Structure 1
């Protein structure tokens, strides 16, 4: 029978970085689903993990949607169309990315419903052998990418694309300065996208080795924040005292003051993660007297994902994969994700991905 990983709350008080929470993840046999009209049956060949998946696994209060018993986790995947429902526009054998939410068109964030996204609440996710999905939520994988690389695009890639090209009044491009924190999945593809668009990119990390990789991906300047804890001062030197136009902030409370200190007047910080511990801060003066904008980045529309795929295809961008795990090693993949130490994305192969 087909298989899927499910979340069963054996431990409910574990932190998102506690390996003991892995007992909540169980492999189960399930019936093979059947596609209905204008639907396809996709065999999943690769699933990319996100920090959100740890919040779901541990039923963390940091995530606003409670985890239901038996939930299939994860939101990001790429696979191959295997069967078609009546009137489907796809073909058997098509390589596809699964758009993970119901927000299909445009840039108005009110189109995103967090309760209807894959892999949270009661909505089954992608860590499964087969998925039935509506035709309108599939996107072709660029030909130059593997299915593992394609699986990185739905959340990490689309979040970066949304932030860089759909948020600013003047999208990132020639003449703009962009600061990207870290070297995780969103950060690495953001560096690639921004550099390909013509922006000057500053990358920050705690590791010189990771910063060297950031340079290879297209970063023009790098800052090790362990050596330079007040890194906003270094940013100001690099930009002749003006500051950057845009910051992609993955840390949250622990980094937002530095991010605001790096911005030019009227600049934008997009918060895409909460990787640092909570702390009391007062950012109002920096926002008010700098006419600066801080916005949360939550979800992306299919329109944005299609723009991402267009840019990835045109610039032949290859998402960075830190490590790939076999299907039955999913718990090991989650444990590595807990360490927050990898460059790029962690990917779990599908049941039969080895033959794809």
Structure 2
């Protein structure tokens, strides 16, 4: 019997340990993927800490990329040898989110991608852009699609102004994608060195929020008093008020993360109301939006910015880098 290795959380909050499993056969509408890479998101960090409900044991990690090595009956959309990525919500194929569409999430509702092989339904897979390696591709399913959907929700196009916060994966993807769409990007960070990387990726204006705590005033100055068409808010409680005040009348604030905690955020209700600001929460996106993102990535030749690559057995070390905030862009895992 042929076996493979999966990294398994045996109990809530338990560190993933290697386990030998029999190699499965794909069923109807499924393929067997040789998994070559994954990446680390804040969602995975919370999951690995045992803070996301689910059945144990289970294999963690929401993101994965690799190669199709076997196909099940009636599969016509992928062939052996095709390179693919798994969607964050493989059951959310198109349209607005619903509880049913978002119910399946690799690593939460069932086994994720931290394993050498994984069976997946083809309607939850996306073809990998040919110019990307599997390690690069594995950074897209969560962070890339999240950034992309923030831009889609605001209808960002040429001449628009986008503000995004920090130099983590979602924010740097937002810089790259908005720049490729012809928008003008304003990037905030506490590090001048990290801001330089954002500039190289397409940010036209840089704001160090340690030097300029009320950075919304600088956004208004840069935009001639108008404000931004979209503010991608990753901080949560400590940044949301600034984001609302940085947006133009009729603009959008896309709430992506809660990096400053889970406490109730002070919201400037008068600014929100008088300026008709739209605040929308973003949790990744559909399979179709992932496909559309890959079209942009291919056309524009975009390559994800990855600051750290770990062996897949070193997922604990990768999480510690994420916790310390010493990464820039994405942290990837190589699976062998």
TM-score (normalised: structure 1): 0.89
Q: Where does residue 107 of structure 1 map in the other structure?
A: 95
**Among 263, 269, 272, which residue is 1:287 paired with?**
272
Q: Where does residue 19 of structure 1 map in the other structure?
A: none
After TM superposition, the runs of 4+ consecutive aligned structure 1 residues lying more than 4 A away are none
Preserved contact between residue 6 and residue 25 of structure 1 (Cα < 8 Å): yes
Q: Where does residue 209 of structure 2 map in the other structure?
A: 225
Compared CA separation, residues 301 and 278, structure 1 to 2 (3 A): closer
Q: Give 1:9 deviation, angstroms.
A: 3.8
Query: Comparing 72-81 with 323-332, which one deviates more in the overlay?
Result: 323-332
Q: Where does residue 9 of structure 2 map in the other structure?
A: 7
Preserved contact between residue 91 and residue 124 of structure 2 (Cα < 8 Å): no
Task: Provide the aligned length of Structure 1 versus Structure 2.
Answer: 332
Preserved contact between residue 254 and residue 279 of structure 1 (Cα < 8 Å): no
Q: Where does residue 224 of structure 2 map in the other structure?
A: 240
Q: Where does residue 183 of structure 1 map in the other structure?
A: 167
Q: Where does residue 61 of structure 2 map in the other structure?
A: 74
Preserved contact between residue 33 and residue 117 of structure 2 (Cα < 8 Å): yes
How far apart, CA to CA, are the structure 1 residues paired with 2:267 and 2:168?
27
How far apart, CA to CA, are the structure 1 residues paired with 2:94 and 2:71?
28
**Among 289, 300, 303, which residue is 1:318 paired with?**
303
How far apart, CA to CA, are the structure 2 residues paired with 1:327 and 1:73?
11
Q: Where does residue 47 of structure 1 map in the other structure?
A: 38
Unaligned runs of 5+ in 2: none
Preserved contact between residue 157 and residue 183 of structure 2 (Cα < 8 Å): yes
Preserved contact between residue 78 and residue 150 of structure 1 (Cα < 8 Å): yes
How far apart, CA to CA, are the structure 2 residues paired with 1:273 and 1:201?
19
Q: CA RMSD in A?
A: 1.6
Q: Where does residue 114 of structure 2 map in the other structure?
A: 127
Give runs of aligned pairs for residues 236-275 of structure 1, distance below 5 A.
Answer: 236-275=220-259
Unaligned runs of 5+ in 1: 12-22, 352-356
How far apart, CA to CA, are the structure 2 residues paired with 1:102 and 1:144?
23
**Among 16, 23, 34, which residue is 1:25 paired with?**
16
Q: Where does residue 186 of structure 2 map in the other structure?
A: 202
Q: Give 1:119 deviation, angstroms.
A: 1.1
Structure 1 residues 284-318: Cα deviation after superposition (integer angstroms, max 9, x where no partner): 22211221111110131011000100000000000
How far apart, CA to CA, are the structure 1 residues paired with 2:267 and 2:290?
34
Q: Where does residue 118 of structure 1 map in the other structure?
A: 106
Give runs of aligned pairs for residues 55-66 of structure 1, distance below 5 A.
Answer: 55-60=46-51, 65-66=52-53
Compared CA separation, residues 243 and 95, structure 1 to 2 (3 A): same
Q: Where does residue 198 of structure 2 map in the other structure?
A: 214
Q: Give 1:10 deviation, angstroms.
A: 6.4
Q: Does the residue aligned with 1:273 lie in a helix, a strand or coil?
A: coil
**Among 290, 293, 303, which residue is 1:308 paired with?**
293
Q: Where does residue 20 of structure 1 map in the other structure?
A: none
How far apart, CA to CA, are the structure 1 residues paired with 2:258 and 2:6?
28
